[in-house]
Amino acid sequence: MINSRVLFTEEIDDPEIASEELFSQAEGFEFQDSTVAILFMDVETVYAELYEQLRTKWDFPIVAATAIGMLTDHLGYSRTGISVMLLTSSDCKFAAGMTEGVTCDNYIEPIKKTYEDLEKQLGGEEVKIALLFSGRPDGMCGDDIVNALDKVGKKVKVFGALASDMFSFADFRVALNDRIVMNEQVFILVSGNVDPKILRVMSISGKANFSYEVTKSSANLVYRLGNGTFLEALKNSGLGSDNELVAGEYIQTPFITKLKMPDGSEVEALRNLARLDQKDGSGMFLGAIAEGTSLEIGLLNRDDVKSSVKQAFDEILAWLDKEGKDCKTILCCSCSARFLALGNNGIVEGESYKDRLPEGISLMGLYSYGEFSPVGDEEWCNVFHNSTFTILCI
């Protein structure tokens, strides 16, 4: 069984004060045989100095990611600050590692090497869940990361998210201990006495008058829809833009596509548009869109975000009450599109669980640029999501 505790400080400017507040909140927490920490932080956090303070008392791995906003069990939503989840166990093992040398053209081998090194650290025990917090080179799509594991034969469920910033797409970072970078991926492999429960929620209340066949695409680049360019299709529907960086313009209108499952069935997935090429008329998404599939536009609004996340926690809390009594830990990943849809009412997702969690349950989450979680039951596959709320109970 995994025990956990969530710590939080609003202090991001003075690492010494921040670390002392975190240490104080950790007092009385019993560290067991294997321990790891997950840390979410504002992009303005001086992480290198913070880590130097934390390592004076904590000798276990610290995995970190920047976040546009955070969720914690006792506070709900926080726009800024530093949150830490301590995970410890006597009958589970944690192995943490970071890739090295990931580029758009070379990502399979670094991911394979890192994953296999962590498997060795677990001593051959079966990996029950892989936690992943990821940066990415510009132009690389989230699908590449989970697909790399499939390509090297690693059939394990992956849960996690892309790091985020305030839509600059230049300030997000991930870290492992004293190494903080933009382009790499950080894994935590978990083995032992754990049976993960995963739930995802998409919040689309309707669709815009926009439906095309993708006639030319490559990974996360869409060149042509129907007989024209991607940009022409947008303009014909009154949805065009003259800008290049357009994530903020389209983030509340995610694009809907279809992904093929291993059994041949299809599932809907959401994709956020990040850039427009005004010369060739193509669009670059945060996730891949297959040639030959359909592409529509969904509508994301505040009321649907609020109701969908409440329904998700209704289901999770019912499961905890009946089947998941040994579960003590919940990790959440919510999309930055949902963050924007909530506007000034950003506390909604946090309020959906705050004051409802059973005693002894720890929860922490972040707002991300994309979420990793499996879809399907027996014939499941790992999928990169946008505009989605995901929940992991371990």
Flag whether the pTM goes above 0.85: yes
pLDDT tens, residue by residue, 87-101: 999 999 999 999 999
Q: Are residues 45 and 81 in the same domain?
A: yes
Q: pLDDT averaged over the chain?
A: 92
pLDDT tens, residue by residue, 177-223: 999 999 999 999 999 999 999 999 887 778 888 999 999 999 999 99
Q: Is the pLDDT of residue 362 over 90?
A: yes
Angle between helices 15-26 and 47-54 (to 10 degrees): 40
Secondary structure letter of residue 170 according to DSSP:
S
Q: Does residue 189 contact residue 119 with C-beta atoms inside 8 Å?
A: yes
Q: Are residues 144 and 56 in the same domain?
A: yes
Q: Are residues 194 and 235 in the same domain?
A: no
- Whole-number pLDDT of residue 340: 77
User: Which residues fall within 8 angstroms of residue 338, CB to CB, at 6 or more apart?
Assistant: 203, 300, 305, 349, 367, 387, 389
Q: Are residues 42 and 150 in the same domain?
A: yes
**Cα dist from 83 to 66, 246, 304, whole Å:** 10, 30, 27
pLDDT tens, residue by residue, 47-74: 999 999 999 999 999 999 999 999 999 8
Q: Which of 277, 299, 321 is the last residue of a domain?
A: 299
Q: Which of 265, 299, 333 is the last residue of a domain?
A: 299
Q: Are residues 123 and 159 in the same domain?
A: yes
Q: Is the pLDDT of residue 110 over 90?
A: yes
pLDDT tens, residue by residue, 21-44: 999 999 999 999 999 999 999 999
pLDDT band at 345 (very low <50, low <70, confident <90, very high): low
Mean pLDDT computed over 257-270: 82
pLDDT band at 337 (very low <50, low <70, confident <90, very high): confident
- Structural domains in the chain (count): 2
Domain hosting residue 171, numbered range: 2-201+304-393
Which ranges in 27-129 belong to alpha helices (H)? Answer: 47-54, 108-121
- Look-up: residue for tokens 């932080």? 41
